[in-house]
């Protein structure tokens, strides 16, 4: 064979090998990063979901409240140990949810975003679920989460490290009047929640029963989805689901599509807003309104594409902030 042709073929082979090797290395790096994110955030989130949904099932479907009533007869300054333990489960879940949706691999996952939206809606809803017990706003969920999941001093090359505090430390925080979280623990939502637990002697009398039943079912959905994606289970056997006894629907009532999430990355959300394509006045009002929202840095609007891109503080949990923006746009549109 002509030496020139051999030289060309050798060069092509070397080029193909280099590209294949580079691609293989890139895949390995991506997988290593994905494994690191799972180890740092997703595994802890799955465990927190499993513990919370299991505890809610025990409260709603088993005799756990009756046991608490017998076990903790004394009056406590803040709440019984049982109520504090349940609050710790909530705080632990909130903490890992915010951390995982900020740093983990599911920030842009449509199914996780949808289930997160439903969980947030159920925690905040006043129309379908009465009472203040277990009704936590976005800010309260974020604050309560930060009491139980703390950022550690060390850091990986690309990701910060977090750790859950144990129950006894959480209880010490509650009892510390000088704690920076003292006002949070005295808030109406938390006071109503621990009071509901300590005042009920059976699940039927627990304030917020239906809210918790719906939440438990959605948490099971989220856990099963994450377990399927990760390829392992953190719990044994099939998950039990609490009975939803009322007429409550797990999904909120259908609403016209005012805004929808197109793409998410930390610090950036792109949304589709159909109305801005045909209503110039509305588009101008919406741009000014969004620019005034806390933590928003800048806005880029494309009327031709009917999309709005919002750049915001990267320290804010992406999935939760996205749902807040969608609700905010819906509320502004209704008022316009």
Residue boundaries of the structural domains of the chain: 29-230, 260-335
* Tokens read off for 184: 């949070």
Tokens 């320290």 belong to which residue?
315
Distance CA 61, CA 146 (A): 30
Distance CA 291, CA 306 (A): 17
Three-state DSSP state, 10: helix
Distance CA 148, CA 243 (A): 29
Q: Beta strands of the chain (E only): which ranges?
A: 149-155, 160-164, 260-265, 268-272, 296-302, 307-312
Distance CA 74, CA 290 (A): 50
Residue 276 · residue 288 · CB < 8 Å? no
Burial label for 212, CB within 10 Å (0-12, 13-18, 19+), is: buried
Distance CA 215, CA 94 (A): 13
Task: Give me the tens of pLDDT residue by residue for the chain, a chain 336 residues long.
Answer: 566 676 766 766 666 666 556 555 555 555 555 556 767 889 999 999 999 999 999 999 988 888 888 888 777 878 999 999 999 999 999 999 999 888 888 887 888 888 998 999 999 988 888 899 999 999 999 999 999 999 987 555 567 889 999 999 999 999 898 989 999 999 999 999 999 999 998 888 899 999 999 999 999 999 999 999 888 888 777 889 998 875 454 454 444 457 788 888 888 888 888 888 888 888 888 888 888 888 889 999 998 888 899 998 888 888 778 877 877 777 655 545
* Tokens read off for 148: 């139980």
DSSP codes joined into one string, 73-119:
-S--SS--HHHHHHHHHHHHHHHHHHHHHHHSTTTT-HHHHHHHHHH
Distance CA 54, CA 62 (A): 11
User: What is 260-335's CATH number?
Assistant: 3.30.70.60
């Amino acid at each position: 064979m002509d030496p020139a042709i051999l030289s060309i073929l050798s060069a092509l082979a070397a080029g193909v090998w280099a590209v294949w090797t580079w691609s293989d290395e890139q895949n390995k790096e991506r997988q290593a990063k994905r494994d690191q994110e799972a180890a740092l955030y997703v595994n802890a989130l799955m465990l927190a979901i499993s513990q919370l949904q299991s505890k809610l099932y025990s409260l709603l479907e088993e005799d756990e409240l009756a046991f608490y009533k017998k076990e903790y007869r004394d009056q406590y300054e803040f709440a019984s140990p049982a109520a504090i333990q349940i609050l710790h489960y909530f705080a632990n879940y909130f903490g890992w949810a915010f951390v995982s949706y900020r740093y983990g691999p599911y920030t842009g996952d449509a199914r996780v975003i949808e289930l997160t939206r439903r969980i947030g809606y159920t925690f905040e809803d006043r129309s379908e679920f009465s009472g203040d017990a277990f009704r936590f706003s976005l800010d309260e969920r974020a604050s309560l989460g930060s009491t139980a999941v703390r950022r550690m001093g060390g850091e990986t090359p690309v990701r910060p490290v977090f750790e859950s505090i144990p129950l006894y430390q959480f209880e010490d925080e509650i009892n510390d009047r000088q704690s920076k979280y003292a006002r949070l623990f005295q808030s109406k939502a938390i006071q109503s929640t621990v009071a509901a637990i300590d005042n009920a002697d059976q699940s039927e009398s627990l304030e917020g029963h239906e809210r918790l039943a719906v939440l438990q079912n959605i948490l099971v959905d989220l856990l099963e989805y994450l377990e399927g994606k990760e390829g392992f289970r953190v719990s044994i056997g099939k998950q039990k689901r609490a009975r939803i006894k009322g007429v409550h629907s797990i999904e909120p009532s259908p609403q016209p599509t005012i805004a929808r999430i197109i793409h998410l990355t930390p610090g950036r959300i792109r949304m589709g807003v159909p109305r801005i394509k045909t209503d110039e006045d509305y588009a101008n009002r919406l741009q000014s309104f969004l620019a005034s929202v806390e933590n928003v840095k800048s806005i880029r609007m494309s009327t031709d594409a009917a999309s709005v891109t919002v750049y915001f503080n990267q320290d804010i949990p992406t999935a939760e902030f996205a749902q807040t923006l969608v609700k905010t746009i819906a509320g502004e549109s209704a008022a316009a």
